[in-house]
Structure 1
């Protein structure tokens, strides 16, 4: 968690806010029916993966500029997220050729550590480019 005071950013270990979803929310996460979930799997992954990679790169750049310098415990997960998003963006167009890199990423915990787990494994395996 970060806060800004006089142009400086402090890293705080404890969360200061919480987010709660309920059925009457006007914005936020929406529940998808089976058709919506299938539509997501059919949607090309290129734009989404580029957006996730850009967000991870921006976070890394911002965190590396924290004063005082961010600790390795803060930067290491950000670096790992950026590396994972770079690998996802570089997955081959051929679904068959994606299997090896995706299984390796799953084995080392990349998907469970920084993603939606099996949902994103499936997405990376089947989405078109």
Structure 2
């Protein structure tokens, strides 16, 4: 459920975001999310889902490490940039710590997007980024470190 004012202040929807994710993000950074302990709906998947839940076996996980990283990283950066551009314009304006977190997320995705194509040259920049704590704060921690070290461009 959402209020009409959330819908209005979230528009226009950035191309890089799925509409319901963008609505949830703008609500969350504006401090307007309430959580209920009660389940109100069942999640179901169907052929028309834009995004679905997948369970990967070992081959699927290995396949993700062999998949080129360029498109995924471009998408993550585009989302972080759209959020960083729009966050200060939201009404009510997000708290300063939220704006800092959004800015840090964009910096993290920028750092990931410029990693060298040569795997041997990625170690130092990935380690530098790991030391900032942003892999754990804005991603999947060691899983994303491994992905950034081994995935082809």
Q: The TM-score by the shorter chain falls in which range?
A: 0.7 to 0.9
Q: Would you tell me which structure has more strand in proportion to its own residues?
A: 1
Structure 1 gaps, min length 5: none
Whether contact under 8 Å (2:126, 2:149) holds in the other structure is yes
Q: 1:91 to 1:85 in 2, by over 3 A?
A: same
Partner of 1:82: 106
Q: Which runs of 4+ in 1 moved over 4 A?
A: none
Supply the distance in 2 between the matched residues of 1:78 and 1:17 (Cα, whole angstroms): 25
Partner of 2:13: none
Counterpart mapping for 1:49-64 below 5 A: 49-64=73-88
Counterpart mapping for 1:94-113 below 5 A: 94-113=118-137
Q: TM-score if structure 2 supplies the norm length?
A: 0.71
The Cα RMSD (Å) is: 2.5
Residue 68 of structure 1: CA displacement?
3.3
Q: Deviations over 1:94-118 (max 9, x none)?
A: 1111000111111221100100111
> Size of the alignment, in residue pairs?
124
User: Matched residue of 2:147: which SS?
Assistant: helix
Structure 2 gaps, min length 5: 11-26
Q: 1:8 to 1:44 in 2, by over 3 A?
A: closer
Q: 1:67 to 1:90 in 2, by over 3 A?
A: same
Q: Deviations over 1:74-99 (max 9, x none)?
A: 11111001001001000000111100
